[in-house]
Amino acid sequence: MDKITEAIGQYSILNETFIKAKISAILSDKLADNRNKKVYETILSCIDLTSLNSTDTEEEIANMTDKVNIFEDSYPELPNVAAICVYPSMVNVVHEILTAGVEIATVTGGFPHSQTFIEVKIAETSLAVMDGATEIDIVFPIGKLLEGKNEEIIEELQEIKTACRDAKLKIILESGALKIEDIQRSAILSMESGADFIKTSTGKQQPAATTLATFVMCQMILEYYQKSGRKVGFKAAGGISTTEEALQYYCIVESVLGSEWLNKDLLRFGASKLANNILCDIIGETISCF
pLDDT digits (tens, 9 = 90+) for 81-93: 999 999 999 999 9
Q: Report H helices in the chain.
A: 3-8, 16-30, 37-45, 58-74, 91-97, 118-130, 142-146, 150-163, 180-192, 211-228, 243-257, 274-283
Report field, pTM of the whole predicted structure over 0.85: yes
Residues 112-128 pLDDT 10s: 999 999 999 999 999 99
Q: Does the pLDDT of residue 251 top 80, yes or no?
A: yes
Q: Which of 161, 168, 235, 264 is catalytic?
A: 235
Chain centroid to Cα 278, Å, comes to 18
Cα separation, 255 vs 30, whole angstroms: 8
Q: Which of 121, 137, 168, 170 is catalytic?
A: 137
Averaged confidence pLDDT in the chain: 96
Sign of the C-alpha dihedral computed for residues 273, 274, 275 and 278 taken in this order: positive
> Is residue 199 annotated as part of the catalytic site, yes or no?
yes
Phi, psi at residue 239, to the nearest 5°? 85, 10
> Is residue 235 annotated as part of the catalytic site, yes or no?
yes
Its CATH class, for the domain covering 3-283, is alpha beta
Q: Which of 22, 121, 199, 264 is catalytic?
A: 199
Residues 263-275 pLDDT 10s: 999 999 999 899 9
Q: CB of 41 within 8 A of CB of 79?
A: yes
Q: Where are the domains of the chain?
A: 3-283
Q: CB of 260 within 8 A of CB of 231?
A: yes
Interior angle at CA 250, CA 194 and CA 33, nearest 5: 150
Cα separation, 254 vs 63, whole angstroms: 34
> Is residue 30 annotated as part of the catalytic site, yes or no?
no
pLDDT of the residue at 1 = 55
- What is the rounded average pLDDT of the residues 213-237? 98
Tell me the HSE value of 211 on the side-chain side, using a 13 A CA sphere: 21
Q: Which residues contact 199 (CB under 8 A, 6 or more apart)?
A: 137, 170, 171, 172, 173, 234, 235, 236, 237, 268, 270
Phi, psi at residue 259, to the nearest 5°? -65, -20
Neighbour tally for 113: CB within 10 Å = 15
Q: CB of 19 within 8 A of CB of 244?
A: no
SS3 label, residue 1: coil
Q: Which residues pair with 171 in a beta bridge?
A: 138, 198
